[in-house]
Structure 1
Amino acid sequence: MTTTINLLPWREERRKQQQQEFIVLLVVAAVVGGLLFWLWQGSVDQQIADQRARNSHIQAKTAELDEKIKEIKELKERRAELVARMEVIQSLQGNRPSIVYVFDQLVKTLPDGVYYNEIKREGDLFTIVGLAESNNRISRLMRNLDQSDWFEGANLLNVSAGNDGTEVNSFTLTVKQASRSGQEEEEK
């Protein structure tokens, strides 16, 4: 029997072949890994770009809303100013005819022998300075003012007798203009 001995270095060839296969597999794995990393990186970059686009859109819309809010605030301020002006004008318009009635009532309540020298108005308070032939006539003036629908709370501040030899008394009194409800009835 003959035995054959293989003297060829088959183990070395097998190792070389296995090394070459390992290197090929390693390169293929590196290429596949690189490809997967590149795809993942592209996906992440796209998501970041999409989010930035959404953020810029939100910022643009927020800026628009801020401008609209600013406009609304300005319009509300202008409206409040206009409403205040309208109220002042209505108040002045409403009080305009009342001064005519006030002067009419001042004349109607004036008894004979009493004369006005000065009438001052501060708000609803009238200060009347005048002359009267007697204290009774001053009292009659105060009663007439209190009975009027246009006045209330007549208050005598002072009376002084004439020093120039005449029997005329000078007086100062205050009276308040009555509330609008009583006056509106008289106007009708």
Structure 2
Amino acid sequence: MATINLLPWREERRQQIKTEFLVILGAVVVLGAVIALIVMSAYNSAISSQEARNAYIQQHIEVINREVAEIKDLEQRRQQLLDRMSIIQSLQGERPLIVRVFDEMVRTLPDGLFYTRIDRSDKRINAEGVAESNNRISSLMRKLDTSPWFDNPNLADVKAADILGDQASSFKLSYSISAPAPDEDK
């Protein structure tokens, strides 16, 4: 004989499937939340670790920048000292030269002529003076031209001047300093 089940088994089956679905859905949501927390925790840990490394590097960069600034300051002071030393050495080297130049200026100065003003800029001497006559100025120019210590004498101006009732000539000239070879200055 055939058995007929009249109980609402389909309704129970639907209810069982619905309950299983809700349990699985809850488990998936909880699992997703746990995974999200783990991932977020890992990212936060990586970010804080990178920030710590950045702070460490920034601290060392500041220390190195201070050291670089000190090195630049020391190099600048060193260059200033080297410049001072070179100036002192050049002045020490020129000391005998200027004495010889003044000595040669006196040797080339003829009688009856004197300088009223002398300027030196680098290797160029500009002079002003008064002479008893134009012949004395010509004599000075010849002596400057033949001097081993002076080059390129250039007479810029000659004027008649009245000095204490005497007729005289005022003049302006310039010439270059040229140190002779060591055997010529004896």
Listed as ranges, the gaps of 5+ residues in structure 1 are none
Residue 18 (structure 1) shift: 2.5
User: CA–CA distance in 2 between the matches of 1:179 and 1:117?
Assistant: 20
Q: How many residues were matched structurally?
A: 183
Q: Deviations over 1:86-130 (max 9, x none)?
A: 34333322322222101211222234x334253412312231424
User: SS where residue 49 of structure 2 aligns?
Assistant: helix
Relative to structure 1, is the Cα distance of residues 30 and 154 closer, same or farther in structure 2, using a 3 angstrom cutoff?
A: closer
Matched with 1:122 is 120
Matched with 1:45 is 44
Matched with 1:139 is 138
Q: Deviations over 1:59-109 (max 9, x none)?
A: 334333433443344344434433433343333223222221012112222
User: CA–CA distance in 1 between the matches of 2:101 and 2:163?
Assistant: 32
User: CA–CA distance in 2 between the matches of 1:16 and 1:147?
Assistant: 132
- The AA in structure 2 aligned to 1:60 is Q
Matched with 1:97 is 96
Report sequence identity in percent: 41
Does residue 149 of the first structure (1) align with residue 148 of the second (2)?
yes
User: CA–CA distance in 2 between the matches of 1:121 and 1:140?
Assistant: 21
Q: Deviations over 1:32-56 (max 9, x none)?
A: 2222212221222222223323333
User: CA–CA distance in 2 between the matches of 1:66 and 1:165?
Assistant: 76
Does residue 174 of the first structure (1) align with residue 173 of the second (2)?
yes
Residue 152 (structure 1) shift: 2.3
Please identify runs of 4+ aligned residues in structure 1 that moved more than 6 A.
161-166
Relative to structure 1, is the Cα distance of residues 161 and 13 closer, same or farther in structure 2, using a 3 angstrom cutoff?
A: closer
Listed as ranges, the gaps of 5+ residues in structure 2 are none
Q: Deviations over 1:113-159 (max 9, x none)?
A: 33425341231223142444x54444333211211121123344326
Aligned 8 A contact 1:105 1:150 in 2: yes
User: CA–CA distance in 2 between the matches of 1:150 and 1:96?
Assistant: 15
